[in-house]
């Protein structure tokens, strides 16, 4: 019998004091949070047009993506990454846009693999069957693949690029065969669109060693038409899966882990839920994002970046880069998800537009 009663909490909890393990560090933000996790967006382009991320009406043929000279070069990214690792960053995730559309990404991975850091990547999987071996050979250890449904019609409606499920599954298999498993599989759940496929996904990947992570649809950016009504609370997802396959809550791997872990009581592996809307996890947020053109964002819901590219290109030395990063982090007080309401999430509520996820990376 299941041991755990699963709570449903719809409202974001009030802000809490920083967790003790973060309190008072020499290099922490205003809420006592250290910098541990860096997400680097290597391109703002993508071959999908997921309706919740890059809606085709906005990201159409007239949309102005960044011109090549504005992108950080691999050498610039690697140089910054070294500085970040020297400041205590333990994990780097390459993202985008779609990271695998950036030419020769393996070369960057090779450069970053030399650092003492947990190196990973998030991809839509479309090019993975072709690239998995080369990514592994370059030094990638593991990856996350996004897949919103196993039903072709639903998946195609969500990626809006007519891309079939089978090709993503092929990519996941290729990644596992190349030694990049277990693969984490991200499913963004949107009410009335793919929420009836939550169980199919659990059924399919149970026992495979891969880990499905259900993500609440977020109001990131200003273009995806987010409404609170479209969010299926993670607790509801856990309850639905639990009704068919009993689940037990598992401990986080480390403080600040984004996904809440649940394992199947029968030993068939685990799932994760990412409840950024209904159970905000800002108090442990140790993530910094570096945009494709080299701006730092201290929150996924940020409006303004802090330009590092200009410093880099003006010949700044390591100390100057370090000082800038530390100053930005020390001034950080972001906790958007904790103070989000249906009103603040509306694009018109923001005086400035929130930055798009395809630009700063998920
Ligand atoms: N293109 C890659 C991919 O899709 O995996 C990497 C970039 S994508 C922005 C990173 C992650 O953000 C994906 O798992 C995607 O599903 C998720 N994502 C994008 N928009 C989202 C939204 N509005 N709410 C929740 N998750 C979102
Ligand atoms: Fe592209 Fe990923 Fe955004 Fe989908 S979620 S449009 S695959 S960047
Ligand atoms: Fe971190 Fe901002 Fe997300 Fe809160 S809302 S968890 S501060 S990125």
Which pLDDT belongs to residue 111?
98
Which pLDDT belongs to residue 227?
87
Residue at 207 is within a domain = yes
CA of 222 to the centre of ligand 3 (A): 16
The residue ranges of the chain whose pLDDT is under 70 are 1-26, 341-353, 361-362
CA–CA distance, 141 with 181 (Å, rounded to integer)? 8
Residue at 324 is within a domain = yes
Atom of ligand 3 nearest to the CA of 258: 6
Residue at 9 is within a domain = no
Residue at 44 is within a domain = yes
- The residue segments making up the domain with residue 198 are 37-360
DSSP state of 294: S
User: Is beta strand 295-297 parallel, antiparallel or unpaired with respect to 91-95?
Assistant: unpaired
Per the CB < 8 A criterion, the answer to whether 361 and 96 are in contact is yes
* Nearest-ligand number for the alpha carbon of 360: 1
How many domains are contained in the chain?
1
* Domain containing residue 302: CATH number: 3.20.20.70
Return all residues near 287 (Cβ < 8 A) that are at least 6 apart.
36, 37, 38, 39, 300
Which pLDDT belongs to residue 20?
40
- Ligand 2 pocket, mutate which of 40, 99, 124 (most atoms under 8 A from CB): 124
Residue at 97 is within a domain = yes
* Alpha carbon distance, N-terminus to C-terminus of the chain: 37
Angle, helix 165-177 to helix 152-159, in steps of 10 degrees: 90
Which pLDDT belongs to residue 346?
55
Closest CA to 70 of 42, 110, 94: 42
Per the CB < 8 A criterion, the answer to whether 334 and 299 are in contact is yes
Which pLDDT belongs to residue 42?
98
């Amino acid at each position: 019998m299941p041991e755990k009663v699963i709570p449903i909490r719809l409202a974001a909890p009030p802000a809490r004091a920083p967790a003790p393990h973060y309190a008072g560090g020499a290099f922490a933000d205003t809420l006592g949070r250290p910098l541990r996790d860096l997400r680097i967006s290597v391109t703002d382009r993508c071959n999908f047009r997921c309706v919740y991320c890059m809606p085709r009406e906005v990201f159409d043929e007239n949309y102005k993506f960044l011109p090549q000279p504005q992108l950080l070069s691999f050498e610039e990214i690697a140089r910054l990454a070294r500085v970040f690792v020297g400041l205590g960053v333990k994990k780097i995730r390459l993202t985008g846009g779609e990271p695998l559309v950036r030419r020769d990404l393996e070369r960057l991975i090779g450069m970053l693999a030399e650092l003492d850091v947990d190196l990973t990547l998030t991809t839509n999987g479309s090019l993975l069957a072709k690239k998995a071996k080369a990514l592994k050979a370059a030094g990638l250890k593991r990856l996350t693949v996004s897949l919103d449904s196993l039903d072709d019609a639903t998946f195609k409606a969500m990626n809006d690029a007519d891309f079939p499920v089978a090709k993503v599954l092929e990519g996941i298999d290729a990644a596992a065969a190349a030694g990049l498993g277990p693969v984490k599989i991200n499913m963004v759940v949107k009410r009335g669109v793919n929420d009836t496929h939550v169980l199919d996904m659990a059924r399919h990947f149970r026992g495979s060693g891969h880990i499905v992570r259900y993500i609440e649809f977020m109001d990131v950016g200003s273009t995806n038409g987010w409404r609170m009504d479209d969010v299926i609370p993670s607790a509801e997802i856990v309850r639905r899966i639990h009704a068919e396959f009993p689940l037990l809550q598992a401990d986080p791997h480390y403080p600040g882990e984004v996904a809440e872990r649940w394992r199947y009581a029968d030993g068939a592996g685990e799932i994760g839920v990412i409840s950024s809307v209904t159970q905000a996890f800002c108090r442990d947020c140790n993530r910094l994002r570096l945009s494709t053109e080299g701006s730092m964002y201290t929150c996924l819901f940020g409006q303004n970046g802090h330009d590092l590219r200009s410093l880099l290109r003006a010949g700044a030395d390591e100390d100057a880069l370090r000082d800038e990063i530390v100053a930005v982090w020390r001034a950080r007080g972001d906790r958007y998800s904790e103070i989000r309401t249906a009103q603040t999430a509306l694009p018109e509520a923001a005086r400035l537009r929130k930055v798009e996820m395809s630009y700063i990376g998920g």
